[in-house]
Amino acid sequence: MNDREQVFVFATKSEMSDFMILRWKEISRESVERKGYFVAALSGGKTPVDFYMKLAGFKEPLPWNKTHIFLIDERFVPFNDEDSNYRMLRKTVLDHVTIPQENIHPISTSTPHPQISARKYEEELKAFFKRSHDPIPEFDLILLGIGEDGHTASLFPNSPALNDVMHLVAEVMLDERGHHRITLTLPVINHANNVIFLVSGQRKAAVVEKIINQKDSSLPTSMVRPTRGKLIFLIDREASLNLSLSNPPHIRNSKQD
Ligand code: 6PG
């Protein structure tokens, strides 16, 4: 870990979500002040649902009309499918805040093939970020989860998508539930200003230990190393159970911050 990397451990998932809300508030306001808009890419999965719902109900004003939301990844299913990340994001947060529809950027899954969806989304990213003249999009915030096998986004262990440095978006064929997927690639994730992982539950304890204590570089999550942005792990107590807490200063309780 270097000084751009931090690990925070929370007593509960709910405390972790509260902390994430404060980070969202800070990063969104700072981005809008600096360049006029805030752009985030959000994950699916169960862990961030609590955060998304709290964000939807957050009482302080947030710059939603200057916020753009992209997706980290998507299953190649229709938007009304219960496995659709876009559907989950709409139900938990997007339908409940004052974000303009044109600021929401779902990954289209109505194409004949996931590869076509990936190319289409790549074009959308290029068009949106063209004003920065940087060939790789610079997200203000990328919010990720971790799977028990160490996957993040839809980047699974040994997947060819892990080595795709030519594309901003890649297709991933057939996951464990039989879905094809579409995912942002590592060059995009590692170009963000803030990459934040939310991790919760005892089932994640073993993989969290491998990533943070053992620094197991074979796991996709360990390949997330922002080139100049911040890398932050927010972990609840259950997911931190195998971590060696005798390794400060990287492990802190949120209450101490
Ligand atoms: C998805 C995610 C995926 C997820 C992890 C953790 O769409 O499912 O992008 O990478 O973050 O699988 O999922 P949980 O939060 O459900 O444990």
**Residue 94, CA distances (Å) to 52, 67, 89 in order:** 9, 11, 6
The residue assigned the tokens 């594309």 is 167
pLDDT bucket at 254, cuts 50 / 70 / 90? very low
Q: What angle do CA 246, 216, 190 make, to 5 degrees?
A: 105
Give the mutation target among 46, 47, 179 for probing the ligand 1 site: most ligand atoms within 8 A of CB: 47
Question: What was the pLDDT predicted at 131?
Answer: 74
- How far away, in angstroms, is 50 Cα from ligand 1 center? 14
| Residues 227-247, mean pLDDT to the nearest whole number | 89
- How far away, in angstroms, is 35 Cα from ligand 1 center? 30
Give the mutation target among 83, 146, 181, 185 for probing the ligand 1 site: most ligand atoms within 8 A of CB: 146
235: left (phi over 0), alpha (psi -120 to 50) or beta: beta
Mean pLDDT (the chain) is 93
Is the predicted pLDDT of residue 223 greater than 60, yes or no?
yes
One DSSP character per residue, 154-217 reads TB-TT-GGGG--S-SEEEE---TTS--EEEE-HHHHTT-SEEEEEE-SGGGHHHHHHHHTS--T
Question: What was the pLDDT predicted at 20?
Answer: 98
Of the listed ranges 27-36, 42-51, 248-257, the one predicted with least confidence: 248-257
State the closest ligand 1 atom to the C-alpha of 203, by its place in the atom list counted from 1.
17
Q: Whose CA is nearest to atom 7 of ligand 1?
A: 44
Q: What angle do CA 95, 99, 105 make, to 5 degrees?
A: 85
Q: How far is CA 46 from the centre of its chain?
A: 12
Q: Whose CA is nearest to atom 2 of ligand 1?
A: 44
pTM beyond 0.85: the answer is: yes
Cα(99)–Cα(88) distance, integer angstroms: 16
- How far away, in angstroms, is 95 Cα from ligand 1 center? 21
DSSP 128: H
The residue assigned the tokens 């980047």 is 155
How does pLDDT run across 98-147, given as a tens digit for each residue?
Answer: 999 999 999 999 999 999 999 999 999 999 998 777 889 999 999 999 99
Is the predicted pLDDT of residue 201 greater than 90, yes or no?
yes
How does pLDDT run across 55-74, given as a tens digit for each residue?
Answer: 999 999 999 999 999 999 99
- For ligand 1, residues with CB inside 6 Å are 43-47, 72-73, 85, 145-147, 151-153
